[in-house]
Amino acid sequence: MGKLILLVLCVLMFVPAVVGISTSMKEVYAPAETIIAEIQGNILEPILPEDIQFFRGHVSVPLEYDVKKLGEKYFIWMIAPENEEMYSLIINGVTTTQNGKVATIDYGQNFSVEGNLSSYNIKPGFVYTKEDFEIKVNLNEDIDRTIAVSYAGNEGEAVLKPGENNLKFSAGDVDGTQFITVQIGDYNVPAYIFGGSREEVVLPLLRFKPRTIESVVVVGEVGYYPFQIINYGSERIEMEFEFNEELFLIEPFYEKFVVEKGEIREFNLSLKGGLEGDIDEIIYIKSGDLKIEMPVKITLTENEAEAETPYLEENFVESSLYYCSELNGLQCSADETCSGDVKSSKDGNCCIGSCIVENDWEFSWIGYLIAGIVVLIILIVFIKYRKVRISGSDVMNKRISSAERRIER
């Protein structure tokens, strides 16, 4: 077994990384330096800390590390060993795609540790939180050192003492849920913060892969479209399809089916008959109140050179944006405003709240004021007119009474 591991590591030393998966790691790090890297590629299943191993030659090396998905990106951090050697990072069982097909591979990357001891290191090397947090900075020197610190638009300095220092940060300083970078001296720490002022949008843990099927098909041909349903959550989900059964065929098909936590279910979509015109339909999966959509847009052409299905091509990169319906949001019309937060989506602006019809209240109060003034003027005129009539009537009565008294005499 040891010889096999050694052979694998030797191969990794000279063979380029598997196409489709890579990291942003450098080739050389200082002893005890904090390594922060993004794991890049089409990663279909969660990468967990137990999937990570480190080796020096064929010997397993215990390092302090962690790996996590922040938003749509995976990051790994570790404290580099203090011994100057060549090391290997191994990620076991990465589920990805090769040539458009799902594959599970073991990814490996080499890095060396050389030079002088790092002046300081930090941990953790990334942040994922909705609470206030702290980052420990360990100064490997015997005199104080001042470093620059930048967080949520606030810039300053921190004076490090020899040994461990704790830098504290408030999640409330971040406006809404954001992916940001925290600068701590020479380190740029990726951070996914659920801030305080805006409504948090929780992205769905269940989705289609791809999110959209788009294809150009030659007249007379029938396309076949593989797709997946991925459960990123920690619980099994029972669901069912909703689609145009007169037009599409889904195989395998179930009235209801279950996707276990972390599971990827594969299906194939095809047309029941010949394509007579362009198709613009939606395939849904439903689970309780949750409803996720996968638009299907198929266009006919008579030119074979125009035929294509982009998502099946090897270099296809899917947009990280969600549809508005996946965010449980609404798209407001031109005469409506959003009462909550507005997010970017594949559909355009998405309202996480309610769409309210604008009644131009800022102008309508002027109309009400004018109408009120007119009514008031009419009322005043009426009252004055009535007084004039009453006073005129009194004068006439007095004159008649006076005349009558003179006649009597």
Residues 284-305 have a mean pLDDT of 87
Q: Tell me: pLDDT of 362 over 70.
A: no
Torsion region of 3: left, alpha or beta (phi above 0 gives left; psi -120 to 50 gives alpha): alpha
Q: Tell me: pLDDT of 209 over 90.
A: no
What's the confidence (pLDDT) of residue 400?
54
Cα distance between residue 174 and residue 57, in whole Å: 44
Q: Tell me: pLDDT of 360 over 50.
A: no
Q: Which has the closest alpha carbon to 330: 350, 347, 345? A: 350
The matching CATH number, chosen from 3.40.50.720, 1.10.150.20, 2.60.40.10, 3.30.450.20, for 206-316 is 2.60.40.10
Asked if 138 and 33 count as a contact pair (C-beta separation under 8 A), the reply is no
Cα distance between residue 48 and residue 165, in whole Å: 29
Cα distance between residue 37 and residue 64, in whole Å: 14
Cα distance between residue 71 and residue 399, in whole Å: 96
If one compares 313 and 33, the residue with the highest pLDDT of the two is: 33
Q: Which residue has the tokens 């309210």?
A: 356
Q: Tell me: pLDDT of 162 over 80.
A: yes
If one compares 403 and 244, the residue with the highest pLDDT of the two is: 244
Residue 217 CB contacts under 8 Å (≥ 6 apart), including other chains: 223, 275, 298, 299, 300, 301, 307
Q: Which has the closest alpha carbon to 184: 124, 113, 115? A: 124
Residue 367 CB contacts under 8 Å (≥ 6 apart), including other chains: none
Tell me the pLDDT tens digit for each residue of 309-346.
Answer: 888 887 666 655 666 766 667 777 666 788 777 776 76
Asked if 132 and 125 count as a contact pair (C-beta separation under 8 A), the reply is no
**Considering the chain, what is the average pLDDT of its residues?**
81
What's the confidence (pLDDT) of residue 363?
45
What is the pTM assigned to this prediction? 0.50
What's the confidence (pLDDT) of residue 344?
66
Q: In percent, how much of the chain has pLDDT > 70? A: 78
Asked if 118 and 147 count as a contact pair (C-beta separation under 8 A), the reply is no
Asked if 334 and 311 count as a contact pair (C-beta separation under 8 A), the reply is no
Instruction: Quote the tokens at residue 18.
Output: 């598997």
If one compares 68 and 5, the residue with the highest pLDDT of the two is: 68
Q: Mapping DSSP to helix (H, G, I), strand (E, B) and coil, where does residue 271 land?
A: strand
Residue 299 CB contacts under 8 Å (≥ 6 apart), including other chains: 215, 216, 217, 278
Between the CA of residue 265 and those of 35, 235, 285, what are the distances in Å?
35, 15, 12
- Candidate ranges 28-37, 40-49, 200-209, 244-253; pick with highest mean pLDDT: 28-37
Instruction: Quote the tokens at residue 170.
Output: 């408030």
If one compares 146 and 97, the residue with the highest pLDDT of the two is: 146
Q: Tell me: pLDDT of 6 over 50.
A: no
Q: Which has the closest alpha carbon to 46: 90, 93, 88? A: 93
Q: Which helix (DSSP H) or strand (DSSP E) does residue 237 occupy? A: strand 237-242
